[in-house]
Structures are given as C-alpha cells and as structure tokens.
C-alpha cells in the first residue's frame, strides 16, 4: 500500500505539481526499500495446530502477491526433529519428517513475527511430539 502511495505521489509531483525537485525520487526509493525488507523478513502469518493425530502448519503473507502460502499437514508420528534458527530479526523453523521416498524431508517455515511466548509454546508442543515418537521407536 505504501509503495502505491509513493509511486502515486512521485507521479503527481513529476507531472502535475512540481512541488519537490529531485528529492521526489525519495518517494520511490523509501517504499521500495521498506517492501524489500518486509519481503526478506518472511511470511507474517504462522498458524500451528497440534490437536488430534495430525500436525498442521500454515505460513502465509499479509500481501498475497509477495509469496505463495505454505500449508502442510502430516501425522504426528512422522515428525523426527525440529530446529529453530534465529539470525538478527529473522527466525525460521525447520521441521524434519520421515518420508517413504527419500527417507526424510525438511520443511521450512518463517516465524519472525511470533512473540517469544508463542515460540516457547511451539517448542513445548513440538517437544512433546518428538519425545512421544522417540518412546514409540525404542
């Protein structure tokens, strides 16, 4: 939305009002830089459901055209391990599940916008599933 307003303000200034001189390019540059940062930080909406016999992960963007949404659902017994990687402002969740064809598959979700309490709840829930799976395998 901000990019559209920036472009509109730039075009109005260039072709109609001439209120700002060469500084009008800032109206283009700043929103584009903010959109790139927004895109690099990852998908904003992360939903997780562990009720029942399946794990359900959804990861999508507020702006639909930036990235396509991710949606994965698989039985709890397929979860092998998980890892949360945090680098500066970017947090990612890596889930390793067992697969018939390749042995294991790694799924990646962006959880940068989760609060620390939500990340702790996610860890607690996934730890329970991993521990249950390890006990069944032994």
- Summarize pLDDT for 43-70 with one digit per residue, the tens: 788 899 988 899 999 998 877 776 788 8
pLDDT of 79: 93
Question: SS3 for 42-93, per residue?
Answer: CCCEEEEECCCCEEEEEEECCCCCCCCCEEEEEEHHHEEEEEEEEECCEEEE
Instruction: Kindly tell me if the per-residue pLDDT of 95 is higher than 90.
Output: yes
Question: Does the structure show a pLDDT above 90 at 36?
Answer: no
pTM for this predicted structure: 0.74
pLDDT at 88: 82
- Is the model more confident about 22 or about 72? 72
DSSP state of 25: G
């Amino acid at each position: 939305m901000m990019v559209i307003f920036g472009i509109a303000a730039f075009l109005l200034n260039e072709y109609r009002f001439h209120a700002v001189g060469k500084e009008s390019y800032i109206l283009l540059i700043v929103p584009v830089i903010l959109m790139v940062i927004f895109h690099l930080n990852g998908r904003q909406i992360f939903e997780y459901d562990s009720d029942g016999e399946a794990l359900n992960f959804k990861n999508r963007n507020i702006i639909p055209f930036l990235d396509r949404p991710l949606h994965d659902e698989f039985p709890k017994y397929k979860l092998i391990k998980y890892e949360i990687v945090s680098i500066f402002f970017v947090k990612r969740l890596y889930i390793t599940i067992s697969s018939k064809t390749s042995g294991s598959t790694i799924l990646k979700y962006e959880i940068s916008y989760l609060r620390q309490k939500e990340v702790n709840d996610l860890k607690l829930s996934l730890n329970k599933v991993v521990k249950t799976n390890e006990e069944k395998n032994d």
